[in-house]
Amino acid sequence: MPSDSGLIIEASPGKGRWSDAPWIAIFDPLVTDTAQREALRDNLSRFLESYRYNTGLDLISGLLRLWLDDYDNADGRKRLESSLDVIQHFGQVEKDIILSQILRIGKELTNKNKNYLAESLYKFFSDTSFLHRIYKELGDDFSLEVIVRSATKKTKQVKEKIYV
């Protein structure tokens, strides 16, 4: 589907499988610049009006909104979290591939948006080891705070058992 910006958007909603296409390239600064991403966001928003609740499109739209610092101003958070809610039920291999790509994109975000991304990921993937991975890859304050809070709670529990 050609868009006004000259980008071609291909989608296959309803097939139940993720494409092997390198869709992640739209987030590569060597492939697209901010103006192209803004045009893609605008065209994608119009497209999403016709294809509501499409996991892949919601994921891309949410990530674009994060990238363009427009996460809470529009429906970026809602779309990303809607897609993560579906992705959490995928097979482990597919989930790992998608989450790795999301974290790869996250490394390029501002600190504020890294925190938003970490918070949204944690809502659906709250495993401690994944939380540590989020922090290792993003270096965000949200994950660090949750990790420290959890460690403090465990330390208090051990202290209470020792001094009872």
pLDDT tens figures, 23-36: 555 555 555 666 66
pTM to 2 decimals? 0.70
Distance of CA 73 to the CA centre of its chain: 16
Question: Where exactly are the structural domains of the chain?
Answer: 23-162
From 94, 77, 74, select the one nearest 17 (Cα to Cα).
94
- Give residue 1's pLDDT: 42
Contact 95, 88 (CB under 8 A): yes
Q: H helices within 3-140, ranges in order?
A: 34-50, 55-67, 76-87, 92-106, 111-124, 128-138
pLDDT score of 14 more than 50 = no
User: What does the pLDDT look like over 89-135, one tens digit per residue?
Assistant: 999 999 999 999 999 989 989 999 999 999 999 999 999 999 999 99
| pLDDT for the residue numbered 31 | 52
pLDDT at 56 over 90: no
9-23, 128-142, 148-162: range with lowest mean pLDDT? 9-23
| 59 contacts 101 by C-beta, under 8 angstroms | no
pLDDT of 55 reads 87
Q: How far apart are CA 122 and CA 96, in angstroms?
A: 15
Residue 44 to residue 41: CA distance in whole angstroms: 5
Of 10-19, 37-46, 56-65, 70-79, the poorest mean pLDDT is in 10-19
For the chain, the average pLDDT equals 79
Which pLDDT does position 122 carry in this prediction? 96
Query: Which is more confidently placed, 107 or 75?
Result: 107
Residue that the structure tokens 């045009």 belong to: 39
- The 8 Å CB, 24+ separation contacts for 93-98 are 94/18, 97/18, 98/18, 98/59
Confidence of residue 70 (pLDDT cuts 50, 70, 90): confident
Instruction: Read off the amino acid at residue 51.
Output: Y
